Amino acid sequence: MLIEDVRHKQPKVYRQWQEQPENVCPPEGEMLSEADQRVHAAVLKLLKRNKEGVIGLVLPEPLLSLARRLFTHGELGDLWKATNGHDRFEVIEVNAEEMCEGLGARG
């Protein structure tokens, strides 16, 4: 469903996704916290295997925003707006050993 359709047909769901995305489960989808755990586990595994190399991730939203937040320790941001940023790339440099230690502690 397009964002505009959700805004008009399901305004409560749209508003909740804006204000508390972690509490919304799309039909046939998963909670944002579940997706966050999957991203966390996958990134930790990649970092452990590639401490000296370069890793490239190609992710759709909202997984891209979850990974970005993990690497930058930033805010999740507006996931509705994030979907408009296709066809872009971003370079984020991290210290793999420090990141693994931090992610392992968050477990």
Do residues 14 and 81 make contact, with C-beta atoms less than 8 angstroms apart? no
Which pLDDT value is given to residue 86?
54
Cβ-Cβ contacts under 8 Å for 46 (sequence gap 6 or more)? 55, 57
* Structural domain spans, the chain: 30-106
Which pLDDT value is given to residue 4?
80
Which pLDDT value is given to residue 99?
85
Give pLDDT tens digits along the chain (107 positions): 677 887 888 888 888 888 888 788 876 778 888 989 999 999 999 988 888 878 888 888 788 888 888 888 887 766 666 655 556 778 888 888 888 888 776 65
Q: How many CA atoms lie within 13 A of 27 on its CB side?
A: 4
Residue owning tokens 């190609």: 58
In the chain, the largest separation of any two C-alpha atoms, in whole Å, equals 49
Which pLDDT value is given to residue 61?
77
